[in-house]
Amino acid sequence: MKTQRKLLLILVFIITATAFSQRDSSNRGREKARKVTSKSKVGKTTKKVDDANKTFNSTTDSIASTLENTKRTAKRIKDAIFGSKKNKTKTKNNGELIIIEIPNVAYGDMSVNELVSNINSLKGMKKVSKSYANGNITIAVNYKESADSLWMLINEKLQKMFIVKEMSEKKILVQLEK
């Protein structure tokens, strides 16, 4: 009987130890499964966050590009309506540019040279320039008043050498008297 009790006690001990051991190993398996599941959840969440960041960066770049294009378009519209700063002639004496055009004239014509010389000698003239292209001479004069008042300052003898064909506020078209 003593042996049976001992055997029974050993058998109970072995069964209990086996049960505890199985329970312990199943707990470890569940723990590993939890870790794997949480890692995959973290991985999925990280991927979602990365995708959201890419979308956000793409949207931000798109908005910045749209704003830059809008600025350029607005500047082009402003330049078309009001004129470009690049094309405006600035003068030191706040004068306006008066253009005198003389068509169908030879380069070095004495009458034209006298006209340029006379305009240069007038009081208040800061800059007088002459250009020649395709048989036409263009004289640009920096003058504060109108083209008509400039023409009235020119020597009468010189005025008689030219026929005024057209005159506006800032432009005079004259033809050499033949």
Q: What is the pLDDT of residues 91-102, one digit of tens each?
A: 444 567 899 999
How far is residue 45 from each of residues 42, 50, 61, measured CA to CA in Å?
5, 9, 24
Nearest-angstrom CA–CA distance, 127 and 91 = 9
Dump pLDDT digits (tens) for 150-174.
899 998 998 999 999 999 989 999 9
Return the minimum-mean-pLDDT range out of 21-30, 82-91, 147-156.
Answer: 82-91
Evaluate whether 95 touches 143 at the Cβ level (below 8 Å).
yes
Return the minimum-mean-pLDDT range out of 22-36, 120-134, 155-169.
Answer: 22-36
Q: Dig out the tokens for 96 from the structure.
A: 């306006």
Is 3.30.70 the CATH number for 96-176? Answer: yes
Chain center to CA of 152: 47
Closest alpha carbon to 178 in 163, 167, 158: 163
Walk across the sheet containing 128-133 and list its strands: 128-133, 136-143, 96-102, 171-176, 162-167
Closest alpha carbon to 102 in 160, 157, 165: 165
Nearest-angstrom CA–CA distance, 166 and 171 = 8
pLDDT of residue 24: 62
Nearest-angstrom CA–CA distance, 132 and 130 = 7
Domain ranges of the chain: 1-88, 96-176
Model confidence band, residue 122 (pLDDT cutoffs 50, 70, 90)? confident
Model confidence band, residue 90 (pLDDT cutoffs 50, 70, 90)? very low
Nearest-angstrom CA–CA distance, 59 and 46 = 20
pLDDT of residue 118: 92
Question: CB neighbours of 128 closer than 8 A, spacing ≥ 6?
Answer: 116, 119, 120, 139, 140, 141, 142
Q: Exposed (0-12), middle (13-18) or buried (19+): which is 96, by Cβ within 10 Å?
A: middle
